[in-house]
Chains A and B, each alone.
Chain A
Amino acid sequence: MELVEAIILAVLAASTPLLIAATGELVAERSGVLNLGVEGMMIVGAACGFAGAWLTGSILIGALLGILAGTLMSLVFALMALGLAVNQVATGLALTILGVGLSGLIGAGFVGERITPAVHLAIPGLTNVPLIGRVLFGENGFVYFSIALIVAVWWFLYRTRAGLILRACGDNHVSAHALGYPVLRIRTFAVMFGGACAGLAGAYLPLAYTPFFIPGMTAGRGWIALALVVFSSWRPGRLVVGAYLFGAVTILQLHAQGWGVGIPSQFMSALPYLATVIVLVLLSRARTGGSTAPAALGTVFVPDR
Chain B
Amino acid sequence: MRKSLLALAAGLLLAGSVSAASAADKLKVGFVYLGPIGDLGWTYQHDLGRQALVKELGDKIETTYLENVPEGPDAERSIEQLVRAGNKLIFTTSFGYMDPTLKVAKKYPNVHFEHATGYKRNPNMSTYSAKWYQGRYIQGLIAAKMSKSGVLGYIGSFPIPEVVSGINATILAAQTINPNIKVKIIWANTWFDPGKEADAAKALIDQGADVIMQHTDSPAPMQIASERGKLAFGQDSEMIKFGPKTQLTSILDTWGPYYIERVKAELAGTWKSEDTWGGLDSHMFTMAPYTNMPDDVKKMAEDAQAAITAGKLHPFKCPIVGQDGKPVECKGGDHLDDGQILGMNFYVKGIDDKLPGK
Contact = CB atoms under 8 A, between A and B. Distances in A.
A266 interface: yes
A221 B195 contact: yes
Given A97-B5, A258-B184, A264-B356, A14 B206 contact: no
A212 B199 contact: no
Given A108-B38, A219-B193, A258-B204, A266 B199 contact: no
Interface residues of A, number: 45
Interface string B26-58: 000000000110111000000000000000000
A210 B189 CA distance: 19
Contacts of B125: none
B308 to A, nearest CB: 30
Contacts of A220: 193
B312 to A, nearest CB: 35
Contact of B187 (A7, A10, A255, A269): A269
Nearest to A211: B223
Interface in A217-252: 217, 219-221, 250-251
Interface in A1-47: 2-3, 6-7, 10, 13-14, 17
A174 B184 CA distance: 59
A97 B195 contact: no
Contacts of B220: 210, 212
A209 interface: yes
* Chain A CB within 10 A, most for which of B6, B203, B218: B203
Interface string B235-261: 000000110000000000000000000
A163 interface: no
A10 to B, nearest CB: 5
A111 to B, nearest CB: 4
A177 interface: no
Q: Chain A interface mostly helix, strand, loop or mixed? A: helix
B200 interface: yes
A258 B207 contact: yes
A10 B194 CA distance: 14
B354 interface: yes
B38 A104 contact: yes
B98 to A, nearest CB: 22
11 contacts: A10-B203, A96-B2, A97-B5, A114-B241, A209-B195, A212-B194, A215-B38, A219-B194, A258-B186, A258-B203, A265-B187
Interface of B: 1-2, 5-6, 35-36, 38-40, 153, 156, 159, 184-190, 192-200, 202-204, 206-207, 209, 218-220, 223, 241-242, 352-354, 356-357
Complex A-B, nearest 8 residue pairs according to Cβ-Cβ distance, in ascending order? A265-B187, A219-B193, A269-B189, A111-B38, A6-B206, A254-B203, A210-B194, A97-B2
